[in-house]
C-alpha cells in the first residue's frame, strides 16, 4: 500500500525504529548522560532535536524529490565526499576522537563525512554502472578495474581514519550493487579473494584489530583487557533472558558497558527487553529488507534498482554487523545500529537515504 510519501510498510517500520531508538537512548543513556553532562537525558534530547526531528524533515523533502535528480548530481556529491574525507586530516578542521580522525568541526556542529560517503557512493556507483551498460560492466577493463579504482579511493581514505567497520559496510554494499548491475561471477569471486587478503593484512598491521580478533575467538581470555567490551555485552544480553529485566532496569548501563547509547545499545536492549525485544527488533529490520528488495526488484529502471539495492543493503548490513558483534557472532567493529544508536550525522543521512528509497517506491509497481 502506498502513501503520499511512498511505501506505507517501509515508512511504518522506519518510524517504529525511530521511536524505539528514542526510548532506548533515554533508558540506556540515563547514567552515562548524568556522568558526562550532569543531565540524565542529555543524549535523549540531543538525539531528538539534532537527529530525529531534522531527519524527519530530510526524509519528507527527499521523498518528494524525483530520484532521477540524484543521477544528475552524483559526480559532485561523490567528489564532495572525497574532499570532506580528506579534510578530517587537516588540523583545525578535522577533530580526533579516541585516536580516530572521523569528524569535521563546523563551528558548534560536528559532521562525520563517512556517513555522507555511504550515500554518495551508492548514488555515484548506481549512476556510473547504469551508464556503462551490462556488456561493458562485464568487461575487465571497462567494468571491474574502474570499479575497483572507485572503491579503492574511498577505502583508502576511510582506512586512514581508521574506521574498519564503515569500510566493511561500504565495500559490501558496493559489492552488492556491482552484482545486481550484471557483473561477472568470476570478477565477484576475484574481488572476494582480494578483499579477504586485504582484511588479513589490515588485521596484521594494526595490533588493536588483531586484539579484536583474539577477543572474538576467546572472549574469556582477557576479560579486563581486550575482552572487556564483548564480555560486558554478553553479560548484559545473557542477564536479559527471555523477557528481560524490564525497561529502565539494566545494570550494565551503570558505567560497566562502554558506549551504552552507541555501539553497545543492542546489549542494553537484550538486557532490558530480553530475547523477545531483540527478536522484535530483528523482525523490523527483516521487514525493512523485504520491502527494500521489493522496491528494488520493481524499480522502473536500472538506476532506481541499483540505488534501492544499495540503500537496503547499507541498512541491513550495518544492523546485522552491529547486532552480531554484540552477541559475539562477529568481531567488534564500532558501527552504530541504524535508527537506534545515538548519532545525529548517521541518522540524518539514513533518513535521507530512506527518503530516496520512498521516492523510488512511488514509481515502482509494488502491487504485482
- 322 pLDDT tier (thresholds 50, 70, 90): very high
Q: Is the pLDDT of residue 210 over 90?
A: no
Q: pLDDT per residue over 2-36, tens digit each? A: 677 888 999 999 999 999 999 999 998 888 888 88
pLDDT tens digits, one per residue of 85-102: 988 888 777 766 655 667
Grid cell for residue 78: 561523490
| pTM for the structure as a whole | 0.92
Instruction: Count the neighbouring beta carbons within 10 Å of the beta carbon of residue 63.
Output: 24
Work out the average pLDDT over 192-209.
Answer: 76
Q: Residues 6 or more apart from 215 whose CB is under 8 A from it?
A: 221, 222, 226, 227, 229, 230, 331, 332
- The residue behind cell 574498519 is 164
Give residue 344's pLDDT band: very low, low, confident or very high (50, 70, 90): confident
When pLDDT is cut at 50, 70 and 90, the band that residue 56 belongs to is: very high
Query: SS3 for 226-291, per residue?
Result: CCHHHHHHHHHHHHHCCCCCCCCCCCCCCCCCCCCCCCCHHHHHHHHHHHHHHHHHHHHHHHHHHH
> What DSSP string describes 116-140?
HHHHHHHHHHHHHHHHH-HHHHHSI
Which pLDDT does position 305 carry in this prediction?
Answer: 95
How far, in Å, CA of 362 to CA of 262, rounded?
33
3-state secondary structure string, 103-116?
EEEECCEEECHHHH
Amino acid at each position: 500500500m502506498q502513501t503520499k510519501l511512498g511505501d506505507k510498510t517501509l515508512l511504518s517500520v522506519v518510524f517504529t525504529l525511530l521511536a524505539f531508538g528514542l526510548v532506548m537512548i533515554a533508558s540506556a543513556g540515563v547514567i552515562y548522560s548524568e556522568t558526562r553532562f550532569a543531565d540524565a537525558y542529555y543524549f535523549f534530547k540531543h538525539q531528538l532535536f539534532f537527529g530525529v526531528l531534522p531527519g524527519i524533515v530530510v526524509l519528507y523533502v527527499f521523498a518528494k524529490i524525483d530520484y532521477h535528480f540524484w543521477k544528475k548530481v552524483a559526480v559532485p556529491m561523490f567528489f564532495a565526499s572525497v574532499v570532506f574525507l580528506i579534510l578530517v586530516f587537516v588540523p583545525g578542521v578535522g577533530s580526533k576522537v579516541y585516536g580516530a580522525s572521523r569528524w569535521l568541526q563546523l563551528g558548534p556542529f560536528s559532521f562525520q563525512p563517512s556517513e555522507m560517503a555511504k550515500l554518495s557512493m551508492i548514488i555515484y556507483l548506481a549512476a556510473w554502472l547504469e551508464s556503462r551498460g551490462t556488456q561493458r560492466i562485464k568487461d575487465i577493463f571497462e567494468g571491474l578495474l574502474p570499479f575497483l579504482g572507485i572503491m579503492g579511493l574511498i577505502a583508502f581514505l576511510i582506512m586512514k581514519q581508521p574506521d574498519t567497520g564503515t569500510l566493511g559496510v561500504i565495500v559490501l554494499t558496493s559489492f552488492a550493487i556491482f552484482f545486481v548491475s550484471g557483473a561477472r561471477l568470476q570478477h565477484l569471486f576475484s574481488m572476494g579473494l582480494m578483499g579477504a587478503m586485504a582484511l588479513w593484512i589490515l588485521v596484521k598491521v594494526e595490533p588493536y584489530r588483531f586484539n579484536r580478533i583474539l577477543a572474538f575467538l576467546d572472549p574469556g581470555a582477557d576479560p579486563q583487557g581486550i575482552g572487556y567490551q564483548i564480555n560486558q555485552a554478553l553479560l548484559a544480553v545473557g542477564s536479559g533472558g527471555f523477557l528481560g529485566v524490564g525497561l529502565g532496569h539494566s545494570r550494565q548501563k551503570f558505567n560497566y558497558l562502554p558506549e551504552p547509547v552507541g555501539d553497545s545499545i543492542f546489549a542494553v536492549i537484550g538486557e532490558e527487553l530480553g530475547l523477545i525485544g531483540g527478536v522484535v527488533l530483528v523482525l523490523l529490520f527483516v521487514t525493512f529488507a523485504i520491502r527494500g528488495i521489493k522496491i528494488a526488484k520493481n524499480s522502473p529502471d536500472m538506476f532506481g534498482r541499483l540505488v534501492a539495492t544499495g540503500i537496503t543493503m547499507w541498512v541491513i548490513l550495518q544492523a546485522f554487523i552491529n547486532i552480531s558483534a554484540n552477541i559475539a557472532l562477529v568481531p567488534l567493529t564500532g558501527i552504530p545500529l541504524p535508527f537506534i544508536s545515538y548519532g545525529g550525522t548517521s541518522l540524518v543521512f539514513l533518513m535521507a537515504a530512506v527518503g530516496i528509497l520512498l521516492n523510488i517506491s512511488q514509481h515502482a509497481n509494488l502491487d504485482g
